[in-house]
Each structure stands twice: as structure tokens, then as C-alpha cells.
Amino acid sequence: MKGVVSISFLLCFLLLLLDYSVSLPLCIDSRAPFTVNSTTNSFCPYNGSTCCNSTEDAQIQKQFQAMNISDSGCASVLKSIICARCDPFSAQLFTIESSTRTVPILCNSTIPANSTQSKAIAAENFCSQVWDTCNNVSITNSPFALQGQARSPAKLNEQWQSKTEFCNAFGGASNNESVCFDGEPVKLNKTEITIIPPHGLCLEKIGNGSYLNMVAHPDGSNRAFFSDQKGRVWLATLPEQGSGGTLELDESSPFVDLTDQVHFDTEFGMMGMAFHPDFARNGRFFASFNCEKSQWAGCTGRCSCNSDVNCDPSKIGTDSGTQPCQYQTVIAEYTANGTTSQPSLAESAKPTEVRRIFTMGLPFTGHHGGQILFGPDDGYLYFMTGDGGGTGDPFNFSQNKKSLLGKIMRLDVDNIPSAEDIANLDLWGNYSVPKDNPYTEDNDLRPEIWALGLRNPWRCSFDRERTSYFVCADIGQDLYEEVDLITKGGNYGWSVYEGPYLFSINGSTKSINTLSTSNPIFPIFGYNHSEVNKNEGSASIIGGYIYRSSTDPCMYGRYLYGDLYAGAVWAGDENPENSGNFTTSKIPFSCANNSPLKCDSVSGSSLPSLGYIFSFGEDNHKDIYILASSGVYRVVRATLCNYICSMENVTTLATPSPSPSPSHASRWSNFYNIVMLQISSFLLLLLAFL
């Protein structure tokens, strides 16, 4: 009997482990919620933070008044529903599968109520309450009207045949991927579950080359593009997990060679590459690199130090004897068309520019950033720039809303404006600006800017499972290396702050008034330089990915990142998932006992030496790679390094081939079903011996 009780307890614990549900506060338009003055009179109630400014609050009040609702009960319910747009969790309330709703997801449950859970069930049946309260009340411009219906006064029971039909359209249950609205502001589930961190990261070495970038082929195959800092790009075939194969890449035959355009030096070179989401059909791809005026006639562009940003170019030409903006940062477009009838089959491309997307002169010889990548939901090109160099950002470029340095930009490269429009709009190249960029809410902001206040972002990525999670590592200066969760219009504090600390030069800090916002966003992860170097020097963070592969289920959901000089790797954890509660720890790693290539070892130790970590990569299987000076490494099953992962036998029975990504709900459902099947089988086996 005691054994049965213990097993029941274990089952309940495992169910709890799988079923908790909370979400990160995020607004509909990807902004982080903000705090407003507690003395402000607002129409919509808020509890600490909100997604609506005073103008938006007034618009909601006007919308409510126009509804002309005579019934007080229905009026109260409708007010709570339209004010849900201001809830700090509105991104989860209003968005399903990237589609924005007119009203939030109303909690709708069919769980039978009893006397002990009536209050909870009432909340779960909020959609039923809305129907019961308002179905016979006339509402003008009803948010529940079917598309195309007249906006004249109407009742719910005139527009919808039944409560069931109504709640099928507007209701939903809270689950692992979303929250639902029960008439009250969404509250975080504070329950935390202690999850034992992984024992270690197991790596296999599959290549000896040294690369700066890796991008999975957009066609979904087991191929990927690799590039080096000099400007060469290769198309490689990745070996299957467990095959014992190595990276198939011919160094003598690059996919494209841009070395004639690229200026290569310690902090110069080809910094990023991106392939259009529709590359398999249109053959478009993009390179981000640095050039030098005297070396290449095509290296021309405006200087980032100019009167618009209160910078005198004559005062920046003393850095290592350079001339003002002698070096430029460039995004250029190329094509794989012409080498084959189908771009997805192309094995080479010509190094001839199709068009120049962006060019900007650099004030100093460091902090260029340079990564480019396409947003998975919006298809826009994101471009990460550093503050341009100089100790402590001497010209305050990162906080200057008119400067494009120290920023993340968001560009539309599918709608190219005319030369006249480019001049009239004062753009830096051949792109247009997405209409929902944050400049529409801040007239002082350059329209290209998505986020600001960064020093030198080095490797950003979107979470494959939760694309609203846009994570960037930002290299620090004297004290702290940070990882930021990027949101629309977010300000990450540099150079008033370095990570969570006020930044100081010779004991002097910058005025808080230098900040372009009163609410800087602090890092979710990070580490002090002293953690990797006792002299608090030689630290440089390298951003990675949130691990979503089935290969190592004990790493699932953790953000892997490293340090250039330390050759160390960290695993950042959010516990509970989606809660906004982040912790991080350095994680040991070993070389797999069946690694296709022998891993270099630390002198006097059996531990592998990665050398310098340059970047991370992710393939179409969602497996993670480390690009290091000693070669290319891939994360493999933990047991291949004798690390214990109790979940490995459940979720890594086979490595699936790349396939169209299922919905969040179906992914979790499949994972849940597999785990519960294994648990059930295990418990039945134990019960048989009791």
C-alpha cells in the first residue's frame, strides 16, 4: 500500500511538472509593458503595469461610450473585455498562431462545477457569463460582430445562434502556450518547480574549419551555409545525428566569395548573412560586412557622425590614424538565380550586388555588431549595430534616437522605394520602413529603429517555439556581459548602465537624464567579468539559442550561450517556463565517446578545448552547433558523454527529419502524450510487482 501511495505521489508530481501554465508579460505589439504614474486617472484599471498609454486609454473609453450599453451588468463585462488590450499579458490574450483577435481569448471550460470549486469554475466559464449577461442586450459597434455584419445596434443572440457557437468563436482554455481572460487582470502563477539542471553538455566534433556564421538552408533540408570573417560563404551538408559522419564542406569551392569587397581585420570583416525566407524560389540572400574606402570603390556612404546626432566628423579621425568614416558597414543583396533553374538547388552564386540595402560610415574601429536575420513571423530584416566604438560611447550614440548606432533596426527589403522616396524619407539605402515600427509611437525616433541602448550586440536569435522571444547577447565593457530579451521600442540602458550596474568611467557615472527613457530594460541573464577572468578583463559574450531539439531533452527550453575568450558555456533557465523568472549557470561540457573527429583537449586534462567561441548555429532539426576556433561542434545525446539525462530514453528514441513546424499546442500535446505514455507504462510495470 505504501508503494502505491508513493507512486501516486510521483504521478501527481510529474503531472504538475508537465501542466503548469504561465506567460511572460508582453504587449500585443511586442513591447514590454510599462509602469504609469499611480496618480494618473485612467478609464481602464491597471495593476502595476500596462500596455496602454493615456492616448490609447482615452481611445478605449471613447469606444466604450460609443457602444451605448443600457444594461449595467453587460456594460461592466464589456468594459473589462475591451480594456484587456491594456493587460500586460495582452500578447497571449489576443494572439493565436500569429493572428490578432478583436477580443481576448475568453476563458471557457466544460469542467463540471461543485461546491468546493465554484469560484474557480466561474472564472473558467467566463465566456458563458458574457453570453448570459449580454446575449439580449443591444450593443452598438459590437466587438463580437461577425466580419461584414452591420455595425448598427444588435444583440448577441441576433448575431450568434447559440452560446456554444459564441464560445467556440471567442473562448479558449488556459494551457502551456497561452492564457485566457476571466474578467480580471491576468495574474502570474507564482508556483515554481525545482528542476534539476542538466549534468552537462555533450558535444561531438564534426568539422575542423573556423567559421563566424552558420545559417540553416531555408529549404528545410540537412544543409547549412557557413561563412568566415574574410567574406567567403560555403554550402555544407550536415551529417545525421549518430551517423558518425562529418561536415561535408569543400573549402576550395565556396558558394560565393566576397573577399574583394570585405575589409578583414581584427574587428572588421563579414559579420552576418541572411537568406530570404522565400530563397528556395527567389534566390535572394544578403551579406553584412565592413569595407574600407581606399580598397574598394563601392565603399561609399554617409558618416554616422554628423550634425543630426551632434557629432563633428573632424573629431573622430584620431582613432589609430584613421580618417572620419574611413570604414563602412554594409548590407548588400545577392542572388543565386542564373546558376541553376531552381535557386534551392544552387551550389554557387555570383559576387555581384543586386542592390545596396544599407551603407553607413563608422566613427571608430570597434563595436560594429553586424548580424542580420529575418523575423520568423513578420519576414522583416533585423540588423544589429554596435555603438561605433570609443570608451563608454563618448558621443552617446546608443541613447541618441537619431543615431543608428547601438541599435536593432527592422527593415522591409521586399518593398524597395524609388530613389526619390529614399531621398525624401532620408533613408540610408534601398529599403522601406515597416509601418508598425516604434517610431509611430515616438516621433523623436529614427523610423528604422526597433530597439536601442546596446553596446555591441553579438548574436541574436528568435526562439523556435515562442517567436515573441527575441534574445540578444550584448558585449560589455569593464564589468558585465549581458543577455537581453528584446521588445519593440525597448531601451537596454547602455551607456548609462552596463548590464544592471550604473556605468562608471574613472569613478564618474552618466546622468540618468541621458537615457532616452525612464524605464531601461535590464538583462535576463549575464555574468561578471570576474567569473571568467580574475582580473575582470578579456570577456566577450557570444549569444546562442534557446534549445528546442529533441536530441537532449534535459537541455530543452534552456538558452545556451558562451564567452569568446573563456571557452565556457552557460545554460540560462526560465522557471517556470514563460514566467519571466530567469536563472543561469555555467555548464560543464565533454566530448562524445564516438565523436567523428577527435576533440582537442585542455592541456593536462581530458576535457575538450574549444579555443575561442565565435558563434552558435541552429540547423533545421533544431540541433545546436558551436562555431569555435578549434572547429565545429554539435550538441548530441547526454549519455554519449556519460551524463545522466532521465528523459533521454523517452524523447530521443529517434531523431525526426525536418518537417513543417506544428502549432505550439500540438507540439506540447505530442510531447505530453509521449511522456505520459512512458510514465503510465512504468507505473503499470511497478504495480505488477507490488
Of 312, 271, 321, give the one whose Cα is nearest residue 294.
Answer: 321
Same domain for 231 and 259, yes or no, is: yes
First to last CA, the chain: 8
Tens digit of each residue's pLDDT (9 = 90 or more) over 80-101: 999 999 988 888 888 765 566 7
Cα–Cα distance, 578 to 49 (Å, whole number): 18
Cα–Cα distance, 232 to 250 (Å, whole number): 12
Q: H helices of 299-450, where? A: 419-424
267 vs 206, 302, 493, 538, 633, CA distance in Å? 27, 20, 24, 15, 24
Same domain for 605 and 683, yes or no, is: no
**Percent of the chain with pLDDT strictly greater than 70:** 82
CATH number of the domain that residue 474 is part of:
2.120.10.30
Cα–Cα distance, 396 to 398 (Å, whole number): 6
Average pLDDT, the chain: 84
Going by pLDDT thresholds of 50, 70 and 90, the confidence category of residue 123 is low
Same domain for 99 and 3, yes or no, is: no
Going by pLDDT thresholds of 50, 70 and 90, the confidence category of residue 537 is low
Same domain for 592 and 681, yes or no, is: no
Final residue of a structural domain among 172, 193, 223: 172
User: Residue 670's domain spans which residues?
Assistant: 1-22+660-690
Q: Between the ranges 34-48, 450-464, 564-578, where is the mean pLDDT highest?
A: 450-464
pLDDT at residue 534 tops 70: no
Tell me which residue has cell 509593458.
33
Specify the pLDDT at position 40: 63
Same domain for 3 and 37, yes or no, is: no
Specify the pLDDT at position 24: 66
Rg of the chain in Å (alpha carbons): 27
More confident residue, 391 or 666: 391
Specify the pLDDT at position 544: 98
In a domain, 647, yes or no: no
Domain count for the chain, please give it: 3
pLDDT at residue 527 tops 80: yes
In a domain, 652, yes or no: no
Phi, psi of 689 (to 5 degrees): -100, 0
In a domain, 177, yes or no: no
In a domain, 185, yes or no: no
Q: What is the total residue count of the chain? A: 690
Phi, psi of 640 (to 5 degrees): -70, -15
pLDDT at residue 621 tops 70: yes
Query: Do residues 473 and 454 lie in contact, with contact meaning Cβ atoms separated by under 8 Å?
Result: no
Same domain for 80 and 111, yes or no, is: yes
In a domain, 361, yes or no: yes
Tens digit of each residue's pLDDT (9 = 90 or more) over 367-383: 999 999 999 999 999 99
Same domain for 54 and 12, yes or no, is: no
Cα–Cα distance, 598 to 678 (Å, whole number): 36
Q: At 316, list the grid cell.
A: 573622430
Q: H helices of 612-663, where? A: 648-651
Going by pLDDT thresholds of 50, 70 and 90, the confidence category of residue 432 is very high
pTM over 0.85: no
Final residue of a structural domain among 128, 152, 172: 172
Please tell me the chain's helix, strand, coil percentages from 3-state DSSP, rounded to the nearest 5: 20, 25, 55
Going by pLDDT thresholds of 50, 70 and 90, the confidence category of residue 646 is confident
Lowest average pLDDT, out of 137-146, 629-638, 676-685, goes to 676-685
Query: Do residues 524 and 473 lie in contact, with contact meaning Cβ atoms separated by under 8 Å?
Result: no
Query: Do residues 56 and 14 lie in contact, with contact meaning Cβ atoms separated by under 8 Å?
Result: no
Q: Where are the beta strands (DSSP E) in 601-666?
A: 613-618, 624-628, 631-635
More confident residue, 315 or 453: 453
The arithmetic mean of pLDDT across residues 44-71, rounded, is 87
pLDDT at residue 104 tops 60: yes
Q: At 627, list the grid cell.
A: 562555431
Same domain for 164 and 206, yes or no, is: no
Q: H helices of 49-175, where? A: 54-67, 72-83, 90-94, 118-124, 126-134, 156-159, 163-170
Specify the pLDDT at position 184: 86
Same domain for 151 and 224, yes or no, is: no
Q: At 60, list the grid cell.
A: 478605449
Specify the pLDDT at position 658: 43
Same domain for 601 and 675, yes or no, is: no
In a domain, 67, yes or no: yes
Final residue of a structural domain among 128, 151, 172: 172
Same domain for 165 and 266, yes or no, is: no
Specify the pLDDT at position 279: 96
Tens digit of each residue's pLDDT (9 = 90 or more) over 461-514: 999 999 999 999 999 999 999 999 999 999 999 999 999 999 998 888 888 888
Tens digit of each residue's pLDDT (9 = 90 or more) over 153-181: 888 888 888 988 898 888 887 765 567 88
Query: Do residues 183 and 129 lie in contact, with contact meaning Cβ atoms separated by under 8 Å?
Result: yes
The helix/strand/coil state of 650 is helix
In a domain, 345, yes or no: yes
Residue 293 CB-density burial (10 A; 0-12 exposed, 13-18 middle, 19+ buried): middle
Phi, psi of 494 (to 5 degrees): -65, 135
In a domain, 189, yes or no: no
Distance of CA 544 to the CA centre of its chain: 11
Specify the pLDDT at position 399: 96
pLDDT at residue 361 tops 90: yes
Same domain for 313 and 406, yes or no, is: yes
